[in-house]
Amino acid sequence: MAWQNERIDMNVYSQGEVDKWVYSTCNICSVGCGCYTAVKDGKIVGIKGNGDHPTNRGRLGPKGENQWYANNSTDRLTTPLIRDADGKLKPASWDEAMNLIAEKAKASIKEKGTNSIAIYSTGQGFMEDYYSIAKIGRAGLQTHLLDANTRLCTATTEFCLLQSFGADGTPASFDDIDETDTLMLFGHNVAETGTVLFERIMERKQKTGKPYLIVVDPRKTLTAKEADLHLQLYPGTNVALLNGLVNEILKSRNVDEEFISNHTIGFEEMEASVADWNLDKTSKVTGISIETLEKAAHQLGTTASLVSTTLQGTFQSADATTACVGINNLHLIRGLIGKPGSGPLHMAGQPSSSANRTAGGVGTYPAQRNHSNPKHIREIAELWNVDMMTLPVGPEKGIEEQISMIEKGEIGLFWNIGTNSMVSLPNRQRARKAMENTFVVVQDPFLTETTAVADVVLPAALWGEKEGTMENADRTINIVRKAVEPPEGVKSDFDILLDFARRMDFKDKDGNPLITYTTPEECFEEFKRVSKGRPCDITGMSYDRLEKERGLRWPVKDEQSKGTPRLYADFNFSTTVDYTQSFGKDQFTGRALTKEEFEQKNANGRAILHPTHYLEPAEQPNDEYPIWLTTGRLVWHWHTRTKTARSPHLHVAAQHGYVEINTEDAKALSIVQGETVKVSSPRGWIQVPARVGDSVQKGLVFVPFHFGSWEKKEAANELTADFTDPLSKQPVFKQSACKIEKIRQEHKVDDGESLEYIAEQYGLSVTDLKEANSLTNDYQISMGQTLEIPLSIINVPIPPYMPYREKI
């Protein structure tokens, strides 16, 4: 264990002693820190880290510490809303709202057929919600249109794991990070997005010098600043970089030949796909010097252990799955998987997005069952006591495909649960327009940009007000206990789903109710039975054990098992025909392979090496839009800020959207620090202050996606493109093209006007005025000359460098 000194982070706001501390797990990110919730007079008044939890040993990050303010926010929704004939959302009773939804669902099935209802959920709910969505969706509504914001988030994790190893479930765990010699963070800004995990890494590094840290990111992030080797590649060149590195490792024969021949298939084809990626070509395409590439290849080729993480810098690209498969290839050819300190650790982002994949609320059937394998569908039909023929097995549809279906009028009901999709979807104006074409239900604790397009709004309970389990990024299932009652009028997602099932009168094949469980724990017990025999077998877990043992990593097959820190320790991969979760997809086109095609590969327990051909990003800077646009996160905010903007501390730390632009680019355009500029792309435009600096490379700008109001023009997703990776169907948020324009008014210099005088008139500093006009001295202005005046200078706050880091 890397942790050496214990520290309990706490943020409590209470006069006098609190009444109780309730066991919980942080509901913000996928690290899954253990915590306790402070309760006084029936309200949550604070939080503290759980010193006994192996993930965080008492620590919490800024968002974790501040998440509970949202619970007490005075603008919580406390009654359902229905849009009336005037287009206004009006309060309604639960009966009115739920009956209307049931009516719309029945009408949709009648008019458009069974696959016409979409449930678009979240990675921030509980396993029990997802399992219920899976059962209600597939056996009740008979729809395969189940997707979630996990499509924007960790779909690629799932698909790269299916391709290489035959089943979901990330091989390595955080424990391996504590042991590894080399840690490669590939498109993962963990310092801002997984703060406690970053501390865990840095504490070990400061004490022991290990691990050697390689960071792959086009920006000089806070994470990259701590790297031993920063591979600052051009956007969208992940696969090129990996091909160059793998080729170099193959050439130097730094490979585990025995592992390759005993435990993998597909070597020759993979080798051929990287063969012409010499360092010269790799350097030209990625922009990384040959010397740096050599260093990286040497480190990766000789390290005795390696953990590679991937996150949105890899997943939100057009070649997302290929890049992640490339990382799997690298681990396989070096035999660095299934061993202590080694393995790919394809991350998750949200606190329970992995749980949604495991429970089957998206994509595949519950407990990693293969919808293309009739044997698996039969198993589920038997477990649910329904007729196998009623279970939909059509290919899953990602949210972007669902939007196209809505545009075509094929979806009669779109049920949006726990996601602010009108801010988080790419090319959001298109998505908004589509929503006019269907009946939209939004289930959220707050009014949001998405409730603006809702026909019905259901007020949902928040974390702390309900019980359930979550699965973090390393397969650990944690329990969240209920600390307080939800506000009057508010229901949990779980209770809303069960209420819907009752109103729809879903039955099993003997005429009994389809859903017989009534509490989250009973639901968990049912899902345990469904998981038996599958890779994610959790038969040995229970709510009590999850609390007593502070989370357990699946598989946990019996009550004696303490969980599984790493998968494939026996090098037996999930690729036998009747066990595999998927028959895989064609690595280039994304076409689903048939059972016969999969059988022909004869993987039979061996991992699959795939060719990794590099394709240039579909949209690239061009004459009209000459600059790369990338989007992402800030340490202070969670996504669309519905929680973090309700915390006074976090709100104050970062209140505006902005665009970060390289110093040289700013100079060439004479853009001044803080000046409001217009950023446009083929989809739309925003108007935000410029932050000038060197953390973005030349030719690239960065826009945080947290700021999404319809009124202020600052949402990143006005700009982003909506095409997707062919295998995972994950949208490309990280690379598109844009242009930056100044918004200036003109000032004609009058006789005797000095720069000081003019600057003061517009509330500018002389330096800003000079920079804005590329003036180097005061004598360059004369009467009649036209000066450009920046629209406004906003002080873009640069967060103090990681205040929590001082506490390591």
Binding-site ranges for ligand MGD (CB under 6 A): 29, 63, 122-125, 149, 152-153, 186-189, 192-194, 216-219, 221, 235-236, 238, 311-314, 316-317, 349-350, 417-421, 424, 443-446, 448, 460, 462-463, 493, 630-633, 635, 637-640, 642, 705, 716-717, 720, 733-735
Site residue total, Mo ion (CB under 5 A): 2
- The answer to whether the CB of 466 falls within 8 A of the CB of 474 is no
- The answer to whether the CB of 740 falls within 8 A of the CB of 679 is yes
The DSSP line for 167-197 is: S-S-S--HHHHHH-SEEEEES--HHHHSHHH
Please, which residues bridge with residue 659 across strands? Answer: 690
Binding status of residue 31 toward ligand SF4 by CB under 6 A: yes
Taking the least distance from each CB to ligand MGD, the nearer of 64 and 565 is 64
Binding status of residue 26 toward ligand SF4 by CB under 6 A: yes
The distance of closest approach from Cβ of residue 300 to ligand SF4 in the complex, given in angstroms and rounded to an integer, is 27
- The CA distances from residue 210 to 201, 214, 224, 794, in Å, are 9, 12, 16, 41
Taking the least distance from each CB to Mo ion, the nearer of 63 and 369 is 63
Distance CA 396, CA 361 (A): 11
Helix (H, G, I), strand (E, B) or coil at 473: coil
Taking the least distance from each CB to ligand MGD, the nearer of 197 and 333 is 197
| Contacted by 162, from Mo ion, ligand SF4, ligand MGD, none: CB < 5 to 8 Å by type | none
Binding status of residue 464 toward ligand SF4 by CB under 6 A: no
* Options 102, 145, 196, 796; binder of ligand SF4; rule CB under 6 A: 196
Binding status of residue 64 toward ligand SF4 by CB under 6 A: yes
The distance of closest approach from Cβ of residue 218 to ligand MGD in the complex, given in angstroms and rounded to an integer, is 5
Binding status of residue 417 toward ligand SF4 by CB under 6 A: no
Binding status of residue 194 toward ligand SF4 by CB under 6 A: yes
Distance CA 545, CA 547 (A): 5
The distance of closest approach from Cβ of residue 196 to ligand SF4 in the complex, given in angstroms and rounded to an integer, is 4
User: What tokens appear for 784 in the block?
Assistant: 């009649």
Question: Nearest 10 degrees: CA dihedral of 485, 354, 56, 520?
Answer: 30
Q: Is the peptide bond before 682 cis (omega within 30 degrees of 0)?
A: no
Taking the least distance from each CB to ligand SF4, the nearer of 287 and 418 is 418
| Contacted by 418, from Mo ion, ligand SF4, ligand MGD, none: CB < 5 to 8 Å by type | ligand MGD
The distance of closest approach from Cβ of residue 582 to ligand SF4 in the complex, given in angstroms and rounded to an integer, is 29
The distance of closest approach from Cβ of residue 655 to ligand MGD in the complex, given in angstroms and rounded to an integer, is 15
Distance CA 148, CA 730 (A): 11
Please report, as residue ranges, which positions from 142 to 161 form the binding site for Mo ion (by CB under 5 A).
Answer: 153
User: What tokens appear for 473 in the block?
Assistant: 């990024």
The distance of closest approach from Cβ of residue 63 to ligand SF4 in the complex, given in angstroms and rounded to an integer, is 4
- The answer to whether the CB of 472 falls within 8 A of the CB of 31 is yes
| Contacted by 188, from ligand MGD, Mo ion, ligand SF4, none: CB < 5 to 8 Å by type | ligand MGD
| Contacted by 439, from Mo ion, ligand SF4, ligand MGD, none: CB < 5 to 8 Å by type | none
Binding status of residue 28 toward ligand SF4 by CB under 6 A: yes
- The CA distances from residue 490 to 71, 228, 459, 495, 708, in Å, are 12, 50, 5, 10, 25
Whose CB is nearest to ligand MGD? 349
User: What tokens appear for 500 in the block?
Assistant: 């819907």
Binding status of residue 187 toward Mo ion by CB under 5 A: no
Distance CA 77, CA 71 (A): 11
Taking the least distance from each CB to Mo ion, the nearer of 153 and 431 is 153
Please report, as residue ranges, which positions from 324 to 383 form the binding site for Mo ion (by CB under 5 A).
Answer: 349
Binding status of residue 473 toward Mo ion by CB under 5 A: no
The distance of closest approach from Cβ of residue 443 to ligand MGD in the complex, given in angstroms and rounded to an integer, is 4
Distance CA 538, CA 524 (A): 10
The distance of closest approach from Cβ of residue 186 to ligand MGD in the complex, given in angstroms and rounded to an integer, is 6
Relative to beta strand 43-49, strand 34-40 is antiparallel
Relative to beta strand 736-742, strand 627-632 is antiparallel
The DSSP line for 506-573 is: -B-TTSSBS----SHHHHHHHHHHHHTTSTT--TT--HHHHHHTT-EESP--STT----SSS-TT---
Binding status of residue 61 toward ligand SF4 by CB under 6 A: yes
The distance of closest approach from Cβ of residue 35 to ligand SF4 in the complex, given in angstroms and rounded to an integer, is 7
| Contacted by 421, from ligand SF4, Mo ion, ligand MGD, none: CB < 5 to 8 Å by type | ligand MGD
Distance CA 451, CA 445 (A): 10
Please report, as residue ranges, which positions from 51 to 110 form the binding site for Mo ion (by CB under 5 A).
Answer: none
- The answer to whether the CB of 259 falls within 8 A of the CB of 332 is yes
Question: What is the binding site for ligand SF4 (CB under 6 A)?
Answer: 26, 28-29, 31-33, 56, 60-61, 63-64, 194-196
Question: What is the binding site for Mo ion (CB under 5 A)?
Answer: 153, 349
